């Protein structure tokens, strides 16, 4: 490595060291968000991040990339810009515009993180962000692609077709067709996106060896849920997800006995409907921060999926779906004979479940018996 490249690389590593705490801070901020403490939490975010992006942009502008790293430099600068714009949207999310600005911030952060993930080979410190600490010694193995592999791996986006809606897919970089791999279907909340919500599961899937399928809903939220001007019709998204699963199964070596589903908020509502509609496909489902929908009521009355393990996860301070709804759901499903596990999270509201996926949902999935392949 020549001296100019060495100086540039050292400068990028210094920027990595400053950007990594921001990414971790944003996970915490999104997971611990409480509607009753928005001003306090926004002030805390500003105090933590401070002038980070002002400094990053100046330092980045001072770096002169060698020719072979021009493309990387452009991508990294764009990722930093997305993160900076996301931070600006989050801290300006107040009053009536809170939801619009917050969702904009989440989308921009998603764009920045997706770009950083694709650049991770040249960002050794940030590369560690994408795996659990206990597997860091195995990072080289997790990043090693099999020779002569004829299918894509990593983060993949499949655009909408005439038959089904768009979806995001994660296939571990060390995927091989010579063994089968478990799969988690993860459903985003209302007014969110597949390529954003999949990031709440990426670190776990990469570290533990899971495929992820994150479908995009047919409209702003899942088709079972009424939106202005559009009547509910759960079949629309059920058919779409079923076709997505067929595509994944035809392309990758999936362990059909270890397919799971989990979703957040509206995605949790639809997780109930998906699991009860196709109970033979899933070894377990885990709706998070959700409630039962009338479409699920009809399936329950017919006794669909009576042997399907269900984990209900709910925050004690949830302002959208109050905790009493979850407690009633647990009582109802238990009374009907469904195998229910209920986890009530103290002082948690209605927010992204990064650590909850890690400490509650995935361990529960891994405790289940494999299901007979459908």
CATH number at residue 298: 3.40.50.1820
Same domain for 271 and 343 = yes
Same domain for 303 and 192 = yes
Q: Is the pLDDT of residue 27 over 80?
A: yes
CA distance 198 to 47: 28
Domain membership flag for residue 29: yes
b/e per residue 235-260 (b: at least 16 CB within 10 A): ebbbebbebbbebbeeebebbbebbb
Same domain for 172 and 302 = yes
Contacts of 64 (CB under 8 A, 6+ apart): 4, 8
Share of the chain above pLDDT 70, in %: 99
Same domain for 200 and 81 = no
Which of 345 and 147 is assigned the larger pLDDT? 345
Domain membership flag for residue 137: no
Report the candidate in 130, 215, 116 with the shortest Cα–Cα distance to residue 172.
Answer: 130
- Structural domain boundaries, residue 179: 146-367
Same domain for 266 and 166 = yes
Domain count, the chain: 2
217 burial level (CB within 10 Å; 0-12, 13-18, 19+): buried
Same domain for 114 and 214 = no
Same domain for 169 and 104 = no
Interaxial angle between packed helices 52-61 and 70-91, expressed in degrees from 0 to 180 and rounded to the nearest 10: 160
Domain final residue, candidates 75, 93, 127: 127
Q: Report the pLDDT value the prediction gives residue 226, as an integer from 0 to 100.
A: 84
Question: What average pLDDT does the segment 96-119 reach?
Answer: 96
Q: Per-residue pLDDT tens for 183-233?
A: 999 999 999 999 999 999 999 999 999 999 999 999 999 999 988 888 899
Q: Is the pLDDT of residue 374 over 60?
A: no
Partners of 184 in the β-ladder: 212, 260
Domain final residue, candidates 73, 94, 127: 127
**Contact indicator for 283, 309 with CB cutoff of 8 Å:** yes
Domain membership flag for residue 138: no
Q: Report the pLDDT value the prediction gives residue 36, as an integer from 0 to 100.
A: 87
CA distance 200 to 188: 10
CA distance 218 to 110: 20
List Cα–Cα distances, 152 to 157, 172, 277, 304, 322, in angstroms.
11, 10, 30, 36, 42
Same domain for 108 and 78 = yes
What average pLDDT does the chain have? 96
CA distance 268 to 261: 9
Same domain for 223 and 328 = yes
Same domain for 347 and 206 = yes
Question: What average pLDDT does the segment 21-49 reach?
Answer: 94
Domain membership flag for residue 68: yes
Q: Is the pLDDT of residue 350 over 90?
A: yes
Integer-rounded Cα Rg, in Å, for the chain is 21
Same domain for 164 and 112 = no
Domain membership flag for residue 286: yes
Q: Which of 31-35, 234-238, 312-316 has the lowest mean pLDDT?
A: 31-35
Which of 148 and 304 is assigned the larger pLDDT? 304
Same domain for 203 and 169 = yes
Domain membership flag for residue 132: no
Domain final residue, candidates 97, 127, 157: 127
CA distance 183 to 28: 26
**Contact indicator for 224, 267 with CB cutoff of 8 Å:** no
Q: Is the pLDDT of residue 65 over 90?
A: yes
Q: Which of 142-146, 227-231, 343-347 has the lowest mean pLDDT?
A: 227-231
């Amino acid at each position: 490595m020549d001296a100019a490249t060495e100086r540039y690389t050292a400068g990028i590593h210094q920027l990595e060291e400053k950007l990594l705490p921001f990414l971790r801070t944003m996970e915490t901020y999104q997971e611990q968000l409480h509607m009753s403490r928005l001003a306090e939490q926004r002030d805390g975010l500003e105090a933590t991040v401070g002038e980070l992006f002002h400094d990053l942009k100046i330092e980045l502008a001072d770096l002169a990339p060698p020719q072979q790293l021009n493309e990387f430099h452009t991508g990294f600068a764009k990722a930093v810009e997305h993160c900076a714009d996301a931070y600006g949207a989050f801290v300006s999310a107040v009053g009536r515009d809170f939801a619009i600005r917050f969702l904009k911030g989440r989308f921009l952060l998603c764009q920045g993180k997706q770009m950083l993930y694709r650049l991770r080979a040249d960002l050794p410190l940030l590369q560690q962000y994408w795996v659990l600490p206990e597997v860091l010694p195995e990072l080289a193995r997790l990043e090693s692609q099999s020779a002569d592999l004829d299918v894509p791996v990593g983060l993949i986006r499949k655009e909408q077709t005439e038959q089904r809606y768009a979806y995001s897919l994660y296939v571990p970089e060390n995927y091989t067709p010579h063994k089968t791999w478990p799969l988690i279907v993860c459903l985003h909340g209302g007014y969110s996106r597949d390529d954003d919500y999949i990031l709440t599961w990426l670190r776990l899937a990469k570290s533990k060896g899971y495929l992820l399928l994150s479908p995009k809903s047919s409209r702003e939220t899942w088709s079972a849920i009424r939106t202005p001007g559009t009547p509910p019709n759960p079949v629309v998204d059920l058919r779409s997800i079923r076709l997505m699963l067929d595509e994944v199964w035809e392309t990758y070596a999936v362990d059909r006995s270890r397919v799971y589903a989990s979703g957040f908020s509206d995605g949790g509502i639809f997780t109930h409907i998906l699991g009860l509609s196709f109970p033979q496909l899933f070894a377990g489902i885990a709706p998070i921060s959700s409630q039962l929908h009338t479409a699920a009521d009809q399936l329950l009355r017919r006794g669909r999926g009576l042997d399907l393990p269900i984990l209900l996860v709910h925050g004690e301070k949830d302002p959208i779906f109050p905790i009493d709804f979850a407690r009633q759901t647990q009582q109802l499903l238990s009374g009907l004979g469904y195998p229910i596990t209920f986890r009530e999270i103290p002082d948690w509201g209605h927010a992204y479940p990064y650590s909850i996926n890690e400490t509650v949902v995935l361990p529960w999935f891994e405790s289940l018996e494999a299901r007979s392949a459908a």
